[in-house]
């Protein structure tokens, strides 16, 4: 049967235009998004190019700033160290006290011959010496030094030369009075000529400027070919009167023929795409016409044989059930006893004019599709409600108070159990994957509760989709080490650290960052909000101890063997510390190095002097060179000398800082608010830059990354080396570095540390309070206390620096205590500062029992 009347010859030219339009329209519709996409892509590429150029400029400026500021800090530090070394000389002080003008003149002549020094001027109080030709700048500096006023290095253009002036007072060896002054005049051009700059493209400049009060700005130094366009940026330096001006001409970064580079490939893709789309559209049109004819043939005849000829698989998939449905729906209207139904197959309108409604097709399709949707929803609901295979508890049982400032810490059986560990694993795994890291290193300490907590943690990690690299029972530094060596930048350590045996917790590293504060709290928010991934993961058992020992053995060189007593406090450090220190050449005497989670001898906390008494006795009984103590998970270090003297960590930092800064002049050294102020002074004298920061291993590591410091340390015994190491706290590696330094000394350990005198001070003092009240007390002190002539620092708690000492009180982030420490120039001053703190504390918290 004919379905369509053939047009007459005189009418063939008229329908040709609509057919052409119909064939062109799909192609145009397909090409329009491509053209628009090309335009958008070019706009994005141009924006990216500009952004890239801006980013390059920003990086170049940062690079120049870092390079020059570090060099200038090193330069001024060396000058300061040099002149103070001259002023501290005992022969100079003796000549001043004896009014020996001849010796002073000899010193001036000899010292003026040293490299970079233009002239030395020495003035002794009460000694008149003939002077000629001293500039007003020299006289001004000498006058400031004579009154013990601080004076910074100053650039002066005098006598046709560019000079640096630096004057310091000379202090009486037994009394705190000025007995003379020393002025050093340096060749500024020679010193500034040492500065070097990174190689950059054309169009940049660096200027060092000096701006004194009520004086014109002076240019001390200039480098670079200059700027074609743009404005320079100004940066402050550690020197109070100097600024660094840096400019980068970004136009040089935009001169490349970017349009040709970026247009060539998109245009080629567009032309190829157009050709491909045209061919596909032509082929698809022909195939669609053929499939339509075959489908119509099958529907009108009721025979499915024509469906095999369909080229479109999706159409074939739809046509087969559709044909069956039509046949089924048509049976009641066409009984077998009435063969008259056959002519229907020949009528074109049956398929094209709408008899589908008579067959009940809409109703049949609506019912089937609705059933399919309901079934899919039921399947989805079942998937969501199914609990993960290892989850036996309720995430709502996880309490928020264990998520502390820089780790997760709780009391086992009270607010910490396996259920909590499991959900922490789910949350940490989800967070790690969200940060692009699906591999997580795990380990545990030797506490009795740690194996079960680790097992639950690992189950949570794997059910979040992570690959777990489990190190087993190892010190915390081994987990940190694993995040640098195992191609996995996330890690979790199950440990209660130095806390009592019934405590435990988790130290968490995600994508290279040790979590603290808000990021620790975010793990709880994931659990509470159900923001948790559920995917299959895996576990691998990894052995890393040998690699860790080999790495440190290759790095640390002990020149002479030392006899060392090691007290691991029955903590997990015992599995590696004795072997490691023996491998670097020490004679090790172990003490409590067997792992026992009951801690039968003492708490594994070297910060408490009571826990070091057995070590002191053992060192003296063995005639050892020194004793070393570690906390429960091996990331903290304690030291006692051969005489049994406890070397507190801030004093130990003096030894380490001097060693590191000597190789890296101008570097930053970080210490926490509990450390002696003598440490900052020593770092400055050695040419480093002291940085005080908040207590907490996570916070210290973040500050270390921020500043690029090479060394950091806390009063608690956490020591962080970035020089030759990875920047995490490692008591075992720190012990090896201490032994390396001491092994080259000819003096005994007690005499070595005698070079680093300390003022009368207390160790860390703990005042028991409640978890809820500790922060409120500190806030009240910050708001209401009166400290007299003290300078208050609220960086972490309340630290008050007085003219002759200081005191600190802060809330512990791990236990319900207030932590205090005091230092005074004399015992009387120490007692006075303690009394001031006692009065202020009792004023805001009258019920507190003062510990002394």
Residues involved in catalysis = 409, 497, 718
HSE-up of residue 357 (Cα within 13 Å, Cβ side):
4
CA 96/CA 833 separation, integer angstroms? 37
How does strand 242-248 pair with strand 204-210? antiparallel
Q: What is the DSSP string of 62-94?
A: HHHHHHHHHHHHHHHHHHHHHHHHHHT-HHHHH
How does strand 563-567 pair with strand 626-630? parallel
DSSP state of 226: -
Q: What is the DSSP string of 540-562?
A: EE---HHHHHHHHHHH---SS--
Closest Cα partner for 647 from 681, 599, 612, 598? Answer: 612
Residues 178/97, Cβ–Cβ less than 8 Å:
no
**Cβ atoms within 10 Å, residue 644:** 16
How does strand 204-210 pair with strand 154-158? unpaired
Residues 768/819, Cβ–Cβ less than 8 Å:
no
Beta bridge partners of 638: 629
HSE-up of residue 581 (Cα within 13 Å, Cβ side):
33
Phi, psi at 313, each rounded to 5°: -65, -40
Structure tokens at 12: 């063939």
CA 497/CA 630 separation, integer angstroms? 10
Closest Cα partner for 344 from 336, 334, 335, 358? Answer: 334
CA 669/CA 556 separation, integer angstroms? 21
CA 490/CA 514 separation, integer angstroms? 9
Residue 128 gets the label, from left (phi > 0), alpha (psi -120 to 50) or beta, of beta
3-state secondary structure of 807: strand
CA 826/CA 112 separation, integer angstroms? 40
Structure tokens at 65: 């700033």
CA 225/CA 251 separation, integer angstroms? 14
Query: Residue 145: is it exposed, middle or buried by C-beta count within 10 angstroms (0-12/13-18/19+)?
Result: buried
Give the C-alpha distances (Å, rounded to integers) separating 455 from 240, 427, 450.
56, 15, 9
CA 204/CA 509 separation, integer angstroms? 40
CA 119/CA 60 separation, integer angstroms? 38
Strands (E), 722-787: 765-768
- Angle at 522 (CA atoms; ends 521, 524), nearest 5 degrees: 70
Beta bridge partners of 207: 222, 245
**Cβ atoms within 10 Å, residue 791:** 11
**Cβ atoms within 10 Å, residue 501:** 19
Beta bridge partners of 808: 799, 821
Query: Residue 616: is it exposed, middle or buried by C-beta count within 10 angstroms (0-12/13-18/19+)?
Result: buried
CA 313/CA 817 separation, integer angstroms? 73
Long-range Cβ contacts of 46-50 (<8 Å, 24+ apart): 46/258, 46/262, 49/254, 49/258, 49/262, 50/254
Residues 442/455, Cβ–Cβ less than 8 Å:
no
Strands (E), 100-212: 117-124, 154-158, 161-171, 178-187, 204-210
């Amino acid at each position: 049967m004919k379905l369509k009347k053939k047009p007459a010859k005189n009418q063939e030219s008229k329908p040709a235009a609509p057919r052409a339009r119909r064939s062109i329209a799909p192609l145009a519709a397909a090409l329009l998004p491509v053209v628009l996409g090309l335009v958008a892509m070019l706009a994005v590429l141009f924006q990216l190019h500009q952004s890239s150029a801006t980013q390059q400029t920003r990086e170049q400026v940062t690079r120049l700033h870092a390079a020059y500021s570090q060099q200038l800090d090193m330069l001024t530090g060396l000058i300061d160290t040099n002149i103070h070394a001259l002023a501290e000389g005992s022969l100079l002080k003796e000549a001043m006290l004896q009014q020996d003008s001849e010796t002073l003149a000899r010193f001036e002549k000899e010292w003026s011959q040293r490299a970079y020094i233009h002239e030395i001027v020495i003035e002794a109080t009460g000694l008149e010496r003939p002077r000629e030709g001293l500039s007003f700048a020299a006289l001004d500096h000498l006058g400031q030094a004579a009154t013990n006023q601080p004076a910074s290095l100053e650039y002066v253009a005098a006598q046709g030369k560019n000079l640096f002036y630096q004057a310091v007072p000379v202090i009486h060896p037994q009394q705190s009075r000025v007995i003379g002054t020393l002025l050093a005049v340096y060749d500024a051009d020679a010193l500034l000529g040492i500065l070097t700059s990174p190689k950059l493209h054309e169009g940049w400049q660096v200027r060092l400027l000096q701006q004194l009060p009520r004086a014109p700005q002076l240019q001390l130094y200039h480098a670079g070919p200059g700027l074609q366009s743009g404005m320079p940026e100004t940066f402050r330096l550690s020197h109070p009167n100097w600024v660094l001006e840096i400019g980068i001409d970004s136009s040089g970064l935009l001169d490349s023929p970017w349009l040709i580079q970026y247009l060539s490939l998109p245009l080629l893709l567009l032309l190829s795409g157009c050709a491909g789309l045209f061919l596909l559209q032509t082929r698809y049109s022909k195939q669609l016409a053929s499939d339509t004819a075959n489908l119509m043939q099958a529907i009108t005849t009721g025979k499915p044989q024509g469906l095999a000829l369909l080229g479109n698989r999706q159409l074939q998939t739809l046509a087969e059930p559709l044909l069956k449905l039509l046949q089924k729906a048509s049976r009641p209207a066409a009984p077998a006893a009435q063969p008259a139904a056959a002519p229907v197959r020949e009528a074109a309108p049956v398929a094209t004019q709408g008899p589908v409604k008579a067959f009940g097709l809409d109703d049949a399709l609506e019912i089937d599709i609705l059933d399919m949707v309901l079934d899919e929803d039921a399947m989805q609901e079942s998937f969501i409600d199914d609990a993960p295979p290892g989850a036996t508890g309720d995430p709502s049982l996880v309490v928020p108070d264990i998520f502390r400032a820089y780790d997760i810490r709780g009391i086992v059986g009270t607010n910490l159990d396996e259920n909590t560990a499991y959900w922490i694993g789910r949350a940490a795994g989800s967070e790690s994957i969200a940060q692009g890291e699906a591999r997580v290193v795990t380990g545990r300490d030797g506490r009795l509760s740690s194996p079960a907590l680790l097992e639950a943690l690992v189950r949570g990690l794997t059910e979040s989709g992570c690959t777990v690299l489990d190190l087993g029972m190892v010190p915390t530094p081994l987990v940190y080490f694993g995040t640098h060596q195992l191609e996995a930048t996330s890690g979790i350590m199950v440990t209660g650290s130095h806390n009592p045996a019934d405590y435990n917790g988790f130290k968490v590293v995600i994508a290279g960052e040790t979590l603290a504060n808000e990021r620790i709290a975010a793990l709880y928010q994931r659990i509470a909000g159900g923001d948790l991934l559920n995917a299959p993961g895996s576990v691998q058992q990894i052995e890393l101890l040998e690699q860790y020992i080999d790495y440190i053995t290759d790095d640390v060189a002990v020149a002479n063997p030392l006899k060392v007593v090691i007290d691991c406090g029955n903590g997990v450090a015992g599995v590696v510390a004795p072997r490691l220190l023996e491998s670097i050449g020490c004679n090790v005497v172990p003490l409590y190095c067997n792992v026992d989670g009951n801690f039968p001898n003492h708490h594994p906390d070297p910060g408490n002097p009571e826990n070091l008494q057995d070590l002191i006795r053992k060192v003296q009984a063995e005639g050892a060179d020194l004793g070393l103590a570690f906390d429960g998970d091996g990331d903290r270090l304690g030291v006692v000398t051969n005489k049994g003297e406890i070397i507190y960590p801030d004093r130990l930092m003096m030894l380490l800082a001097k060693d590191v800064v000597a190789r890296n002049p101008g570097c930053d050294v970080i210490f926490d608010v509990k450390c002696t102020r003598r440490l900052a002074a020593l770092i400055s004298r050695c040419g480093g830059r002291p940085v005080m920061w908040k207590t907490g291993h996570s916070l210290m590591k973040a500050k270390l990354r921020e500043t690029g410091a090479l060394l950091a340390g806390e009063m608690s015994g956490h020591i962080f080396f970035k020089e030759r190491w990875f920047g995490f706290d490692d008591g075992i590696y720190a012990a090896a570095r201490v032994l390396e330094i001491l092994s080259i000394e000819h003096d005994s350990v007690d005499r070595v540390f005698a070079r680093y005198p300390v003022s009368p001070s207390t160790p860390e003092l703990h005042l028991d309070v409640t978890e809820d009240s500790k922060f409120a007390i500190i806030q009240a002190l910050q708001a209401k206390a009166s400290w007299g002539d003290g300078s208050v620092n609220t960086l972490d708690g309340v630290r008050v620096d007085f003219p002759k000492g200081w005191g600190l009180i802060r809330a512990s982030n791990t236990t319900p205590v207030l932590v205090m420490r005091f230092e005074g120039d004399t015992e009387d001053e120490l007692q006075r500062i303690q009394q001031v703190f006692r009065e202020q504390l009792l004023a805001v918290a009258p019920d507190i029992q003062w510990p002394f």
